[in-house]
Amino acid sequence: MSERRWNPVLGEWVITATHRQDRTFLPPAEYCPLCPTRQGGDPTEIGRPDFEIAVFDNRFPSLRRDPDPPAIEGTELTPVAPSSGACEVVVYTPRHSGQLGTMSVRHVRRLIAVWAHRTLILGGRDEVAYVFAFENRGEQIGVTLHHPHGQIYAYPMVPPVLEREVASAADHRERTGGCLWCDLNAQEAADSRRVVARAGGWLATVPFFARWPYEVHLTSERHVGWLHELIASEVDGLARVLLTVIRKYDALFDMTLPYIMAIHQRPTDGGDHDGYHLHVEFFPPNRTATKLKYLAGSEAGAGAYINDTLPEETAATLRDRPPFDPAALDEGAS
């Protein structure tokens, strides 16, 4: 059962998806549903092994192309709507071991191509207003399968955080005539204290306004809105800076650092979003190797984030961790 319920207090949709309670939870590796089906073995989600990256419809989607009608009747004050859209799983590799940070530059370029292609395909559907590619890494984030994978949600609305960013971009453009992220990039590059890495037309920083201790944003230095607008050197640059940031994370506490990776592109709702700027956001929940930052009273109850660290200091810490030069990363095999 899945539907959207309107919250008139916050002005946003909430998606219910009760069937997701039954989804596969941390199976042993030999029963991984994201590994290709072995000859004579139990069928998995992946019927064949001869691919680099696979994308399939989530077995437990909260959004789908032909959703059931809402199971409850809405009112004028609290309308309900079908959960139309799509939820896709992106299997990064047929291999069960490893993770995004251990993949080659070449393979990450291919993953970027898949993200871009799925955005074009899903964003071209009439009912889709926003395509959101993301990865949850680590059981602390709620990961239920360890095989390297990410997800893509195609929403029938522009989700709340993106809607706020779109509005901020439009407001900044109206006031200054410029792009909010281009101006932030210029400020961060000139200041340099919060820069973590820079290469191939991409700047990685702990933002001035970071809400999480080791939050990092990757922003293209050229004004583009979607992944498919990148030129070849920028695709290579994104792959290298992405890998650099993840490997720095893993060197931070000498462990695989949990994170949420969110790719923010322009909406696909047909609106004028020329002022919006492609970027990638990372949110690791750790403030130390063993302590997590929780969304507690101020964050969850009031929406006011309290960061226990200074972005200038966490950026310096990340700069001091290897790798130091994105351009020197191995091209690698697939």
The window from 72-80, 137-145, 232-240, 271-279 that contacts another protein (CB under 8 A) reads: 232-240
Least Å from the CB of residue 235 to another protein:
5
The correct pick among 41, 69, 124, 178 for binding another protein (CB under 8 A) is 41
In the chain the first and final C-alpha atoms are separated, in Å, by 40
Distance from C-alpha of 90 to C-alpha of 150, rounded to nearest angstrom:
5
Using CB under 8 A, which residues numbered 91 to 110 contact another protein? 93-97, 109-110
* Cα separations in angstroms, 27 against 31, 145, 203, 328: 6, 7, 38, 37
Question: Rounded to the nearest 5 degrees, what angle is found at the Cα of 323, between the Cα atoms of 322 and 326?
Answer: 155
Rg (CA), the chain: 20
The correct pick among 18, 51, 208, 320 for binding another protein (CB under 8 A) is 51
Q: Rank residues 86 and 169 by Cβ distance to another protein and give the closer one.
A: 86
> Residue 55 interacts with another protein (CB under 8 A)?
yes
Query: CB count, 10 Å around CB of 19?
Result: 13
Q: Rank residues 109 and 198 by Cβ distance to another protein and give the closer one.
A: 109
Instruction: Write down the catalytic residue from 146, 149, 273, 277.
Output: 149
273 catalytic? Reply is: no
133 phi/psi in degrees, rounded to 5: -95, 135
| Type of residue found at 88 | E
Which residue in the block uniquely carries the two structure tokens 């095989």? 147
Using CB under 8 A, which residues numbered 233 to 252 contact another protein? 233-235
The correct pick among 161, 167, 231, 295 for binding another protein (CB under 8 A) is 231
Q: Which residues bind another protein (CB under 8 A)?
A: 29-32, 35-36, 38, 41-43, 45-57, 59, 93-97, 109-110, 112-114, 116-117, 228, 230-235, 333-334
